[in-house]
Amino acid sequence: MAELMERHHLVSKTKTLLIAPVVFLSVFFVVPVANTFLRYFQFSEFIDVLGNQSLRSVAWFSLWQAIISTLLTLVIALPATWALSRYTFLGTRIARGILTAPFVLPAVVVAAGVLAITDSRGVATIIWAHVVFNVSVVLRIVGPRWSMVNHRLENGAATLGARPSHTFALVVWPHISAAVTNAATLVFIYCFTSFGVITILGGVSRRTLESEIFTQAVRLGNTSTATALAVLQAVIIGAVFFITRRSSRPNSTSLHVSSPQPLHTKPRHRITPLLITATAVLIVASPLLATIYRSVVVNGQVSLSAWRSFFSGALPALSVSTQSVIFTSLIFATAAACICVPLALLVTSSSAPRALFSLPLVISAATLGIGLIITFTTSPYEWRSERWLIPVIHAVIALPLVVRALEPATQAIPRSLRNASATLGASPFITWVRVDMPILKPAILRATGLSMAVSLGEFGATSFLSRSGSTTLPIAIAQLLGRPGVATQQAGFVLAALMVLVTVGVMSRA
Amino acid sequence: MKFLRTLLATSFVVAITACTSPSSNSPIDATPNEVTLLAYDAFTPQEGIFDAFTAATGAKVKVVTGGDSGVLISKAILTAGTPEGDVLWGLDNTLLSRAQKVELLTSYEPVDTGDICVNYDKQWFASRNIAPPTSFEDLTLPAYKNLLVVQDPVASSPGLGFLLGTIAHFGVDKWQNYWKSLKENGARVSPDWTTAYTIDFSGSSGKGKYPLVVSYGSSPPAEVLYAEKPIDTPPTAVIESTCFRQTEYVGALRGTRNPNLAGRLISYLLDVPFQESMPLSLFVFPVNKKAALPDLFTKFAVAPKNSLILDPVEIEKNRDAWLNSWRDIIL
């Protein structure tokens, strides 16, 4: 009886932890999105959409390209994740940096890089760009988990005569399967709702539901068709969540260890991982190198003039300085992380269902964008032109990802440690600070990086928000590349190259 | 009960006065120190150009940008009546009718003009001793096979301008055949201006494979102004007979809280100093006849007297049908 009461007590405690994230998500996500649907969704329009041959083929294309993109991403990312979480060799850090950098970059940069290498547009280039973007998702989510699998278990299996494939299937896979499913679901959703890559590389014939929602709402003014498509998209993503959740029921998560295992450093072990990593880096890095190439080569000749004028602080044609662009981006990214990471910690520390916090992944960015401008319109909620709304929305969009990045680490905290701490008289807060915090620290740092990355690269929902003098990096790049004149375009590539270099630098340390 | 009735009556009176006050009284501005100009992202006015306005009126001009022109106008339409600013910059003749269906603006006037025309890479044609094309018809000749890049008219405003130009030139029944021949002659469709001009086009920074691109009549002077090293003549030129006239409008948004200032700002935008600043900051032509053009524009920018035009009402009526048949032809 006492035990039951205690459990009851615990449950209500974890529920109070959820108040802040739930309120936050309701105000800045649920209400605007519901507003869009209430105002524009018509059931008859939904039936029309289902019956429309051309829109059905859009849905079908979204689906199959996302499946292939996800599978290819896993094929390239999983071996690299294995190599980087088990081995260390010259260049591991930089390889990690390169593989995770694209996540931050605006689609226009990666797409321009891809186009600089191959002239052809179409499915193959789209899938390549999707792989470039999403390898980082797998690395970030599966990597920490994989690095915690106890080597002794594997060695033990090997000693007992298990072949490597058996060891993997019986020892390693059970530990990482939930993280892999998690990452694969995310990658699938990112590819399924792909927008920037599709508009640049898809030409006119390749459209996803997300790009069609945008076209219908913004280009053709058919808001009700757009919301009908958004419902269809949400239904499909919801179904994917349902399927993957069932197959990734957390199996017993006692990991025997709670800290990363030492890395192999002996030369003879390292040939295969080295080759695997090199392949992945080649696939991911080539578009990034193309960006840097275009920032220093003009008309076939090396020219540093764009970099020189960059360091002098002037951006041609734009009425903002480079310093203010970079400053604005960093402020937004920092603010978004300061909102997002604490909320995500509250979510992961409670035993709440995660479905609510996955919602921002399910709902189309355009739907949220429209919701924001029609909801925060009248005082006292006239927030649509407020500068703070931008990092707040970045935090909303980053939340599902950050929750997922923190989850494996919070699950891996041994319950015995917490119990011991409680037995010794520590309050839950002290336990959290003394037990959870030190174990979570690397995961929190990673989550902060992820959240900042989402903020720096976000170009969907917040592009519906108006700005007054707060130009961010992706916007400045898009504007510079969007004007005639060699100098303006080169300045755009300088900013893009800068983003590449800085992110590779930061990510190789994180 | 009585209380309830009083409350209802009071709120009714309040509601009525709230609704009618802006029109019944002489307009009084809600924020006399600041007027908000809503514009697309590419609106980059000359630095300090609004100082004179502030000196004359005591009000600062806050420029709020919100996406490309399509995004900006769609957003404004969705929130028509409860606008985010006082004055809207960037409605053009292709979107004017759609916007006025919901009475987005209380009044509007043309503020600038420009042309959407096929540009070519001078060096590419000169080095091969090929004469550049001079008409829409030329673009379907075998000599110019696989040389032209255009933009998707659904997503891109120059793309739409070029399509409308072909409709104006060939007529509402014949343009479809023209596009079939364009497609057979290897015209490439890029999603937007940036990709077409900076990646596919050979005459600008991208050094792509296509020496013909749909862009603006004012792109050549921009190439000179923003050259990597100073140059005297632009590397690109314009095929004048392909030019389609684009007119941009400026107007007061319905529901503005500063009707007075909005009117004064519109007058300011139409006055000579601002009009003369537009060519080299926004790359458009002034509508004010008294505004003088900079040398760079008189020498290299193109604004033909007889550009192709279409009636905005006609465009609004047929846009979806035209885009659909265009998709059918190209896909």
What domains are defined for chain B?
Answer: 26-114+247-293 (3.40.190.10), 115-245+301-330 (3.40.190.10)
Q: Could you tell me the pLDDT band of residue A261, with boundaries at 50, 70 and 90?
A: low
Three-state helix/strand/coil letters over A375-435: HCCCCCCCCCCCCCHHHHHHHHHHHHHHHHHHHHHHHCCCHHHHHHHHHCCCCHHHHHHHH
Chain B residue whose CA is closest to A468: B64
Q: What tens digit of pLDDT does each residue of A220-241 get?
A: 888 899 999 999 999 999 999 8
The pLDDT of residue A265: 62
**Between B82, B226, B323, which is nearest A485 by CB?**
B226
**Between B71, B193, B330, which is nearest A482 by CB?**
B193
pLDDT at A393 over 90: yes
- Is the Cα torsion angle B98, B100, B103, B109 positive or negative in sign? positive
For A503, the token pair is 């992110």
Assign residue A299 a region: left if phi > 0, alpha if psi is -120 to 50, beta otherwise? left
Q: Do B152 and A305 touch (CB under 8 A)?
A: no
Q: Which residue has the higher pLDDT, B268 or A252?
A: B268
The pLDDT of residue B52: 96
The pLDDT of residue B3: 46
CATH number at A42-253+269-302? 1.10.3720.10
Q: Give the whole-number percent of chain B exceeding pLDDT 90.
A: 65
Of A161-170, A343-352, B21-30, B48-57, the range with the lowest mean pLDDT is B21-30
A164-178, A270-284, B268-282, range with greatest mean pLDDT: B268-282
Chain B residue whose CA is closest to A485: B223
Q: Which residue has the higher pLDDT, B176 or A447?
A: B176
Q: What is the mean pLDDT of residues A56-66?
A: 94
pTM of full prediction above 0.95: no
Distance CA A280, CA A289 (A): 14
Residues 132-161 of chain B with CB under 8 A from chain A are 152, 154-155
For B64, the token pair is 């709020």
Q: Do A466 and B66 touch (CB under 8 A)?
A: yes
Name the residue ranges covered by the structural domains of chain A. 42-253+269-302
The pLDDT of residue A121: 73
The pLDDT of residue B12: 42
Q: Could you tell me the pLDDT band of residue A386, with boundaries at 50, 70 and 90?
A: confident
Q: Give the whole-number percent of chain A exceeding pLDDT 70.
A: 90
**B216 touching A, CB under 8 A?**
yes
Q: Give the whole-number percent of chain A exceeding pLDDT 90.
A: 25
pLDDT at A248 over 70: no
Alpha helices in chain B (DSSP H): 2-24, 51-57, 69-78, 96-101, 122-127, 157-170, 175-184, 193-195, 219-225, 259-270, 272-282, 295-300, 312-330
Residues of chain A found within 8 Å of residue B225, distances taken between Cβ atoms: 485
* Minimal C-alpha gap between A408 and chain B (Å): 38
SS3 state of residue A458: coil
Residues of chain B found within 8 Å of residue A204, distances taken between Cβ atoms: 152, 154, 189, 191, 327, 330-331
Q: Do A487 and B82 touch (CB under 8 A)?
A: no
ipTM above 0.90, yes or no: no
For A314, the token pair is 């002037």
Of A33-47, A212-226, A413-427, the range with the lowest mean pLDDT is A413-427
Of A262-276, B50-64, B229-243, the range with the lowest mean pLDDT is A262-276
The pLDDT of residue A510: 61
Q: Could you tell me the pLDDT band of residue A267, with boundaries at 50, 70 and 90?
A: low
Q: Which residue has the higher pLDDT, B183 or B206?
A: B183
Strand partners, B113: B247, B285
For B4, the token pair is 């309830």
The pLDDT of residue A305: 81
The pLDDT of residue A14: 63
Distance CA A162, CA B187 (A): 60
Of A215-219, B49-53, B202-206, the range with the lowest mean pLDDT is B202-206
Alpha helices in A271-388 (DSSP H): 271-296, 305-311, 322-349, 355-362, 365-375
Q: Are A461 and A155 in contact (CB under 8 A)?
A: no
The pLDDT of residue A250: 52
CA angle in degrees (0–180, nearest 5) for A78-A176-A406: 100
Residue-averaged pLDDT of chain A? 83
Q: What tens digit of pLDDT does each residue of B146-188 get?
A: 999 999 998 888 999 999 999 999 999 999 999 999 999 999 9
Residues 224-243 of chain B with CB under 8 A from chain A are 225-229
Q: Could you tell me the pLDDT band of residue A119, with boundaries at 50, 70 and 90?
A: low
Chain B residue whose CA is closest to A465: B66
The pLDDT of residue A1: 43
Of A188-192, A417-421, B188-192, B289-293, the range with the lowest mean pLDDT is A417-421
Q: Do B67 and A464 touch (CB under 8 A)?
A: yes
Q: Do A300 and B223 touch (CB under 8 A)?
A: no
pLDDT at B15 over 60: no
Amino acid in the structure at residue A189: I
